[in-house]
Amino acid sequence: MFAYIVRRLLATIPVMGVVALFVFSLLYLTPGDPAVIIAGDFATPDDVAKIRARLGLDRPFWERFAEWAWMVVRGDLGISIFTNLPVTTLIGQRVEPTVALTLTTLLVAVGLAVPMGVLAAWKAGRWLDRAVMGFAVLGFSVPIFVLAYVLIFTFSIHFDLLPVQGYTSIREGFWPFLQRLILPSVALGCTYIALIARITRASMLDVLSQDYIRTAEAKGLAADKVLIGHALKNAAVPIITVIGIGIALLISGVVVTETVFAIPGIGRLVVDAILRRDYPIIQGVILLFSAVYVLINLAVDISYTFLDPRIRY
């Protein structure tokens, strides 16, 4: 097991290298010159040239990439073009709202989706199963930003039950903290809930058709013991897999959700950086999200050995 973990960690190095090269190349190939944006509308070509030289944008691509990659290896993500602050500092200032929103959404989504999928499989073909599958289809069909605006109109504007936008730290009280996360978490989590519920149902249906489940039922075991103790335990591997893969949905959805609800998190930071062509921030955030996703996939792979003793690396 230890050797497998070491191999997987070493395998992430070339993966992150390819991601870094792709991110660096993509951003410098997109239209827009940060030097022109910084210089303003009334700048002369000489002013723009001086800013490009100061930012190092006039140097060859591979020279800039090698310098930037060496800085990343040392833990330095560069300096923001517009704020002149280290990117790590800017990310550190914005990380709390993003982590709070992501964890809240994850807990709510998994806590709702798994029971929904289990119940849908148990009552397959009945109204409960149809209701869960209908929600799953709807959850995949409605974009996050559309659902977010519907929630804002319904619960914030029409009924005036929850605040519209912003973020309150948990240090200022748990209820104010939770109030501002309810709507963003629901908007962000619907697609995730739909995905997990569908996979849970499919996996449970496959397990419930096995002979040992019929044997357990023939022995007179209670339905909850059959579903939880036997079926769900053996259906856990694909469910855990889709939970890990679905983290990518949360990472991409955080950007949209934080923009709609004006949450000052990392997603909002990267949107502002894209609009201003602040390359160091964009590169740093994408690398951070990529590293988190790779580590989550590693954790999912390791969890297989605890869920199914037959799996060995």
Which pLDDT band holds residue 312 (cuts at 50, 70, 90)?
low
Query: pTM to 2 decimals?
Result: 0.83
Same domain as 204, residue 271: yes
Decide if pLDDT at 198 tops 70: yes
Mean pLDDT of the chain, nearest integer? 84
Which pLDDT band holds residue 101 (cuts at 50, 70, 90)?
very high
pLDDT in tens, 85-100: 899 999 999 999 999 9
Q: Which of 30, 252, 9 is nearest to 143 (CA)?
A: 252
Same domain as 136, residue 48: no
User: What is the model's pLDDT at position 236?
Assistant: 84
- For the stretch 240-262, what's the b/e string if a residue is b when 16 or more beta carbons lie within 10 angstroms of its beta carbon? bbbbbebbebbbebbbbbbbbbe
Same domain as 102, residue 19: no
Same domain as 184, residue 271: yes
Same domain as 244, residue 109: yes
Same domain as 124, residue 52: no
pLDDT in tens, 138-175: 888 888 889 999 999 999 888 888 888 889 888 888 99
Same domain as 285, residue 144: yes
Same domain as 138, residue 25: no
Same domain as 267, residue 128: yes
Decide if pLDDT at 178 tops 80: yes
Query: 218 or 281: whose pLDDT is higher?
Result: 281
Same domain as 149, residue 11: no
Domain assignment present for 152: yes
Q: How many domains does the chain have?
A: 2
| Cα 82 off chain centre by | 27
Domain assignment present for 142: yes
Decide if pLDDT at 226 tops 70: yes
Q: Where a domain ends, among 41, 73, 105?
A: 73
**Structural contact between residues 285 and 278, judged by C-beta atoms closer than 8 angstroms:** no
CATH number of 246's domain: 1.10.3720.10
Domain assignment present for 82: no
Same domain as 214, residue 162: yes
Same domain as 135, residue 61: no
User: The domain containing residue 248 runs over which residues?
Assistant: 93-307
Which pLDDT band holds residue 66 (cuts at 50, 70, 90)?
confident
